[in-house]
């Protein structure tokens, strides 16, 4: 098995080596191919995503991506490499699970409920289509929704739901305000749903879904939604799993998969050795489960991560004082 490893910027450089160490622990024969992308790479080479990196991912068929720093203003020639990769490799599904971290949810929210949800985000269209322009004083972003992409993401959501205990898909949209685009999304998902009679379908408006994810997340099983809504709602949901430092994701296409923690490059803590590596490690587990079809190894890694956390080894973002290194050691020990 081959894995292309792209640490990127900031804490990507700190958490990705941890995820690689964990993967190598359970897959001693794993071959690692290092590649570059991101802001530092752009400044040095003039490209945020060198062609050599794209080729390396293509050859390996799987990649682990850290995070990159993106400027908040337009920089000529710079485009976010992860958004480019999603489009280049047609990584149309973004899986973002949240599982309750009991001790953390109790400490922060004063309560915990059984949360085990999978957010399935359409990953190529919506407001991320790259169709943004300015005409005089009018700035326009086109929100593209197609039937084909909506049906494709629906198949991912229903296939996942079929294998889960509660077998329920909630379609999240804003069809009351966006009846044409989100109407098409909702109707396409429902059409596909008819092919999965064992799966129950709910729907919810996105603002209500945000409130429900913040207050009663236990009601959700699989959520399927459009690109931007999925980006935002998965950050809301991540709180129950211990926050951004814990949140994993997998960009999944027909041939290639790229695992990536949900968080960014975290410039405020970069270089201090205190970044939480769990989001990156749990992302590697998603790669094992859904791309390499090794749920046994994925289970082992997830158990080790949660056992380490419940034993009290926690980085500062979780309320503890463990370093990145200590967190990794605790996880390796439990493997
Ligand atoms: P961020 O996710 O980097 O950080 C948000 C907050 O969460 C910060 O206080 C940070 O210290 C904390 N945090 C994040 N991950 C953590 C971890 N593993 N352990 C401990 N604490 C953690 O988001 P922010 O600050 O909005 O963006 C910073 C940069 O990252 C920007 O340049 C942005 O464009 C980029 N970004 C990149 C992403 C990607 O490459 N996929 C995704 C999100 C942001
Ligand atoms: Mg995000």
Above 90 in pLDDT, residue 107?
Answer: no
Candidate list 128, 196, 290, 306, residue with the active-site label: 128
Does 102-241 match 1-95+243-335 at the fold level? Answer: yes
Above 80 in pLDDT, residue 112?
Answer: no
Residue predicted with more confidence, 110 or 21: 21
Banded pLDDT at 128 (limits 50, 70, 90): confident
Lowest mean pLDDT among 46-60, 100-114, 142-156: 100-114
Statement: 1-95+243-335 belongs to CATH 3.50.50.60: no
Q: Which ligand is the nearest neighbour of the Cα of 9?
A: 1
Residue predicted with more confidence, 155 or 240: 155
CA-nearest of 127, 160, 161 to 142 is 127
Above 80 in pLDDT, residue 104?
Answer: no
Q: Considering only CA atoms, which residue is closest to atom 42 of ligand 1?
A: 264
Strands (E), 61-130: 62-67, 93-99, 116-122
Q: What is the per-residue pLDDT across 175-221, written as a single tens digit (0 to 9) for each?
A: 999 999 999 999 999 999 999 999 999 999 999 999 999 999 999 99
Q: What is the pLDDT of residue 74?
A: 83
Candidate list 9, 182, 221, 231, residue with the active-site label: 231
Q: What is the pLDDT of residue 272?
A: 98
Q: Considering only CA atoms, which residue is closest to atom 36 of ligand 1?
A: 264
| Torsion, Cα of 22, 27, 28, 30 (10° steps) | -100
Measured in angstroms, how far is the CA atom of residue 38 from the centroid of ligand 2? 16
Banded pLDDT at 152 (limits 50, 70, 90): very high
Q: Considering only CA atoms, which residue is closest to atom 40 of ligand 1?
A: 67
**Half-sphere exposure of residue 134, counting CA atoms within 13 Å on the CB side?**
3
Above 80 in pLDDT, residue 105?
Answer: no
Residue spans per domain, the chain? 1-95+243-335, 102-241
Residue 78 is among the residues annotated as catalytic for this protein: no
Above 90 in pLDDT, residue 83?
Answer: no
- Return d(Cα 157, Cα 174) in angstroms, integer: 18
Banded pLDDT at 144 (limits 50, 70, 90): very high
Q: What is the pLDDT of residue 268?
A: 97
Q: What is the pLDDT of residue 114?
A: 86
Q: Considering only CA atoms, which residue is closest to atom 6 of ligand 1?
A: 266
Average pLDDT over residues 164-185: 97
Fold of 102-241: Isopropylmalate Dehydrogenase (3.40.718)
7 lines ligand 1 (CB under 6 A): no
Lowest mean pLDDT among 79-88, 136-145, 186-195: 79-88
- Return d(Cα 128, Cα 15) in angstroms, integer: 26
What proportion of the chain, given as a percentage, has pLDDT over 90? 89
Measured in angstroms, how far is the CA atom of residue 195 from the centroid of ligand 2? 31
Above 90 in pLDDT, residue 130?
Answer: no
Above 90 in pLDDT, residue 129?
Answer: no
Q: What is the per-residue pLDDT across 223-277, written as a single tens digit (0 to 9) for each?
A: 999 999 999 999 999 999 999 999 999 999 999 999 999 999 999 999 999 999 9
- Return d(Cα 330, Cα 7) in angstroms, integer: 22
């Amino acid at each position: 098995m081959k894995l292309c490893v792209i640490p990127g910027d900031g804490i990507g450089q700190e958490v990705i080596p941890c995820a690689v160490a964990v993967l190598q622990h359970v897959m001693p024969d794993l071959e690692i191919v290092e590649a570059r992308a991101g802001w530092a790479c752009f400044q040095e080479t003039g490209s945020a995503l060198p062609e050599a990196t794209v080729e390396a991912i293509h050859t390996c068929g799987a990649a682990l991506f850290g995070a990159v720093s993106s400027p908040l203003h337009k920089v000529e020639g710079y485009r976010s490499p992860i958004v480019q990769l999603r489009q280049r490799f047609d990584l149309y599904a973004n899986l973002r699970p949240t599982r309750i971290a009991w001790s953390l949810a109790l400490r922060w929210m004063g309560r915990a409920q059984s949360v085990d949800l999978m957010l399935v985000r359409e990953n190529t269209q919506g407001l991320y289509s790259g169709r943004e322009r300015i005409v005089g004083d009018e700035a326009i972003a086109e929100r593209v929704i197609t039937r084909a992409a909506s049906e494709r993401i629906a198949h991912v959501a229903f296939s996942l739901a079929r294998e889960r205990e509660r077998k329920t898909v909630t379609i999240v949209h804003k069809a009351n305000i966006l009846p044409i685009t989100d109407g098409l999304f909702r109707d396409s998902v429902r059409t596909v749903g008819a092919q999965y009679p064992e799966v129950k379908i709910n729907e919810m408006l996105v603002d209500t879904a945000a409130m429900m994810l913040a207050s009663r997340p236990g009601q959700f099983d699989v959520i399927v939604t459009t690109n931007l809504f999925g980006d935002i709602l998965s950050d809301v949901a991540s709180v129950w799993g211990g926050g951004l430092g814990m949140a994993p994701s997998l960009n999944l296409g027909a041939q290639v998969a790229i695992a990536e923690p949900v968080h960014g490059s975290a410039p405020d803590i970069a270089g201090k050795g205190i970044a939480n590596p769990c989001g990156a490690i749990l992302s590697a587990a998603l790669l094992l489960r859904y791309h390499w079809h090794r749920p046994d190894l994925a289970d082992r890694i997830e158990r080790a991560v949660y056992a380490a956390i419940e034993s009290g080894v926690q980085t500062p973002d979780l309320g503890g004082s463990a370093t990145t290194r200590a967190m990794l050691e605790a996880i390796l020990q439990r493997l």
